[in-house]
A and B are shown apart, each in its own frame.
Chain A
Amino acid sequence: MRIRVISIPVQDQEKALKFYTEKLRFVKKLDTPLDGGNRWLTLVAEDEQDGPEILLEPAPNHFKPAKVYQKALFEAGIPYTQFNVESVQNEYERLTKLGVEFSMKPTIMGTTKLAVFNDTCGNNIQLVEEL
């Protein structure tokens, strides 16, 4: 068994694609049309293109419990997904300049530094740096 794809539920796949590629600098890997305008849309990290893929899936639009769950997590400030970075502070500054909103500024927690931002598609995303 291998870990190949992990899902991120998004409210708008096209908008998510733009945000995740233009601001977060992920690279599009697969983009296959599905029924009803939905897509099988996956991204990879720029310098790890054979690594795990994230699937931007439109679940909140088609399955009510997914929408409810996503909303509850968002309102509580809870990130369900996290990405590792070399420097949380640098990414915080870079993304803030691009207009990305942070609900939690860079914060040291024990042996890690964390920050949380809004991906504009319904999710809080956490950045993690190991100290």
Chain B
Amino acid sequence: MTFYEKELNRISRIIYSNQGQIETVIGIRNYIDNNYDTDLNLDLLSHIRFVSKYHLLRLFKKYYGLTPKQYLIDKRIEKSKELLKNGMTVTETCFAVGFKSLGSFSTLFKSKTGKPPVQFQKEQLSRSKE
């Protein structure tokens, strides 16, 4: 066993000792991955795993480094990039990934990727024609 593997095992025993918590957050993350296009919120997520929503928020942040909401937004933006690349319109994409308002989708998309969805799509489509 390498020094690295030994260290991983040692650290793992310290920070990943609570298997129940790990299963909870992995379950929540998988649920978001499979249902990002629906109307997700903390109340719903906490009911799925029978934990209080503030506990869930803390746990998720502790293990993944961001809140479920932030994770959901990142997931939706990532998916919307795929759809835009495939030629879906901005409006269709917005609703297909679960956003409720075109305005907030465009704003979030721009803040996460540096450009509005229309411009992103134009660049992608012109690139694929080259």
A binds B: yes
Residues of A within 8 A of B (CB): 50, 76-79, 103-104, 107, 109-111, 114, 116, 124, 130-131
From A79, A110, A130, A131, contact of B4 by CB (8 A): A79
Closest residue of chain B to A78, judged by CB? B4
A103 lies within 8 A of B64 (CB): no
B5 lies within 8 A of A131 (CB): no
Given A78-B3, A104-B2, A110 contacting B15 (CB threshold 8 A)? yes
Given A110-B15, A114-B8, A76 contacting B2 (CB threshold 8 A)? yes
Interface residues in B, total, Cβ within 8 A: 15
A-B contact pairs, 13 of them (CB 8 A): A50-B127, A76-B3, A77-B5, A78-B3, A103-B4, A104-B2, A104-B5, A104-B8, A109-B8, A110-B15, A110-B22, A111-B26, A111-B64
Residues of B within 8 A of A (CB): 2-5, 8, 12, 15-16, 22, 25-26, 29, 63-64, 127
A124 lies within 8 A of B8 (CB): no
Give the interface SS of chain B, mostly helix, strand, loop or mixed. Answer: helix
Which residues of A sit under 8 angstroms from B15, Cβ to Cβ? 110
Given A109-B12, A110-B63, A116 contacting B4 (CB threshold 8 A)? yes
A111 lies within 8 A of B2 (CB): no
- Bound-state Cα–Cα, A114 to B4, Å: 12
Closest residue of chain B to A73, judged by CB? B4
A76 lies within 8 A of B12 (CB): no
Least CB distance, A64 to chain B, in whole angstroms: 23
Which residues of B sit under 8 angstroms from A78, Cβ to Cβ? 2-4
B16 lies within 8 A of A124 (CB): no
Which residues of B sit under 8 angstroms from A76, Cβ to Cβ? 2-4
Query: Which of B8, B15, B29 has most A Cβ within 10 Å?
Result: B8
A77 lies within 8 A of B4 (CB): yes
Least CB distance, A79 to chain B, in whole angstroms: 7
Query: Which of B5, B15, B64, B127 has most A Cβ within 10 Å?
Result: B5
- Bound-state Cα–Cα, A50 to B3, Å: 36
Which residues of A sit under 8 angstroms from B26, Cβ to Cβ? 111, 131
- Bound-state Cα–Cα, A107 to B2, Å: 13
Closest residue of chain A to B26, judged by CB? A131
